[in-house]
Amino acid sequence: MKTLSVFSFLIILIPHMNLHGQTSNQAFFYSATFTPDSTNVNIKGTDYMVLWTGDNYSVFESYYGYQLDSVQTVTTSKSNNPKDVNLDALIRSVSSMKKPSYKYRIHKSWKDEQITFYQNLFFDNYVYSQPLKMNGWKIENEFKDVLGFKCQKASIAHAGRNFIAWFTEDIPLSDGPYVFNGLPGLIMEVKDIQNHYSFELVGIQNSSIEMSKLVLPKTIALSKNQFFSTKKALYKDVRKALLGKPAGSTSDESIRKVQERYDKSNNPLELVWDK
């Protein structure tokens, strides 16, 4: 009974945000690298990320994830007649596409002053929110050139790491990759000083997409604290994530392999989150 009430409490509606009619004006592409295992920093993961920006609203996600979604949308939802779906072609194109490493979607709203963080963990989608504002940026008198834009250095301590960012006044958007924002210009590059996590701008496109569609379905809403505790617990024992799945669908052997992989994911970007 207690569990039930906890769950009914957890599964609430997505926080109300100014989602409707949010169309992007630009897409900024970032190449992302990350170090999943702090004991072996030579292993790097990569992904292509995109920051869709519109009027006082933005979404940051994996571009591969976006591509995968749009291929599936094109090949399936255009028609509700299964006969019209060319499954062979769908499978062919999906299997040839790159898969996303980052399974999150970060919505930033300046009107609500809030970040809504959607993330998939194993079989479920989760959502939590946090304040938009990042206090503590220090602007330094150091400059460099990124993609032909003059960029200025800024630094901040965030989530237990120290980050160096390069922003440009020439793109007057107070936005950036991941949750980063709050500088008087777009963040073109951001890295932690250990170089475990980095995002670098590689492309700009004027592209108009409907950002409100870029959410995850059937989300479980949590507080930021609850989310990170859940994530930690699931990573620690992946069997937990398999609860409720049909018994025998996964062999012990494969579970062990999955667990090994997650044991090596010991270096999240957020070292500290309960601040």
Partner 1 sequence: MKVAFLSLFFLLPAAFCFSQSVVRGKIIEDSKKTAVFAVNILVKSPLDSTTIAFGFTDESGQFEISVNTELDSVFLTINSMTIQKKNVVLSTNGIPVVIEVTSFSLDLKEVTVEGIKNPITQQNDTISYDISGFSTVNDRVLSDVLTRLPGIEVMSNGMIQYQGRPLVKFYIEGLDLLQGRYNLANNNLPIDAIESVDVLENHQPIRVLDSLVFSDRAALNIKLKRKNTWIGTGHAGVGGRPFLIDGKFSPMVFRADFQALFTVQGNNVGENLEDQQKTLTMDALLDLLNNRAVKEWFTFPGLGMSGLPKDRARFNESFLGSANVLSKNRSGTEFRLNMDYYQENLFQEKNSFTSYFLPDMDTVSFMENTNLENIRRKLSGSLNWNRNTARSYFDNTTSFAVVKNEIDGNVFFNQNPINETSSMPMLRIENKLKLLTPIKNRLFDVRSTVSFEKTRQELNLIPSVVDDNAGQPYDFLVQSIDFQRLFTTNSIGLTFKTRNAITIQSSFGVSALMDKLGSKLSIDSLARDQMLTAERNSANFTNLSTFVKNSVEYKKGGFQVKADIPFYIAHIERNNLTTSESSNFSRIYSEPYLNLRYQISGKFSTSGSFKKTNEFGTGEDFFPNRIVTSYRNIDSNSSRIPESIKSMFNYGLNYKNPVIGLFFDLTASYSKTEDNVIVEFSLANFGGSARSLVDFDNETIRRALSFRGSKYLSNLYTTMTVSSTIQFQGFPQVTNDVLLEYSNRISSTAFEIAIKPKAYIGFDAKTSLNLINSESEQSGIARIRQVSTTLGLDVFPIQNHLFRADFEYVSNEVKDSNSPQSSSFLDFSYRFTPPKSRMDFSVICANILDADIYRSYFSSGFILGVQELPLRPRQFLLKVNFSF
Site for partner 1 contains 84 (CB under 8 A): yes
Closest to 183 in 3D by CA, of 166, 205, 200, 198: 166
Kindly state the DSSP code that residue 212 receives in the 8-state scheme. Answer: G
* Sign of the CA dihedral running 14, 17, 18, 24: negative
In the chain, the amino acid numbered 78 is: K
Cβ-based nearer residue to partner 1, 66 or 102: 66
x/- site string to partner 1, residues 129 to 158, per CB under 8 A?
----------x-x-----xx---x------
Residue 182 beta carbon to partner 1: minimum distance, rounded to whole angstroms: 8
Of 73-81, 122-130, 156-164, 260-268, the segment contacting partner 1 by CB under 8 A is 73-81
Token pair listed for 249: 């669908």
Among 184, 224, 239, 267, binds partner 1 (CB under 8 A): 184
Which span (1-9, 35-43, 90-98, 231-239) binds partner 1, by CB under 8 A? 90-98
Q: Of how many residues is the chain composed?
A: 275
Q: Which of 189, 197, 185, 16 is nearest to 111 (CA)?
A: 16
Proportion of the chain in helix, strand, coil states, percent, rounded to 5: 25, 35, 40
Q: Choose, by CB under 8 A, the member of 25, 194, 265, 266 that binds partner 1.
A: 25
If you ran DSSP here, which 8-state letter would residue 76 be given?
Answer: I
Q: Pick one of 3, 82, 138, 243: the residue that binds partner 1 (CB under 8 A).
A: 82
Two tokens at 231? 């994530």
Q: How far is the CB of 84 from partner 1 (least distance, A)?
A: 4
Name residues whose C-beta falls within 8 Å of residue 122's C-beta, 6 or more positions apart in sequence. Answer: 234, 238, 241, 242
Considering the complex, state which of residue 39 and residue 95 has its C-beta at the smaller distance from partner 1. Answer: 95
96 binding partner 1? (CB under 8 A): yes
Terminal-to-terminal C-alpha distance of the chain: 32
Least distance to partner 1, CB of residue 185, Å: 7
Q: In angstroms, what is the minimal distance from the CB of 226 to partner 1?
A: 29
Q: How many angstroms separate the CA atoms of 22 and 211, rounded? A: 5
Q: How many residues of this chain interact with partner 1, rule: CB under 8 A?
A: 55
Question: How do 219-221 and 124-131 pair as beta strands?
Answer: parallel
Which of 14, 118, 113, 106 has the alpha carbon at shortest distance from 56? 113
Which one of residues 41, 44, 55, 160 is an interface residue with partner 1 (CB under 8 A)? Answer: 55
- Residue 237 touching partner 1 (CB under 8 A): no
The answer to whether residue 251 forms part of the interface with partner 1 (CB under 8 A) is no
Kindly list the residues in this chain that would bind partner 1 in the complex (CB under 8 A): 25-26, 29, 48, 53, 55-56, 63, 66-67, 70-76, 78-93, 95-96, 110-111, 139, 141, 147-148, 152, 169, 171-174, 183-185, 202-206
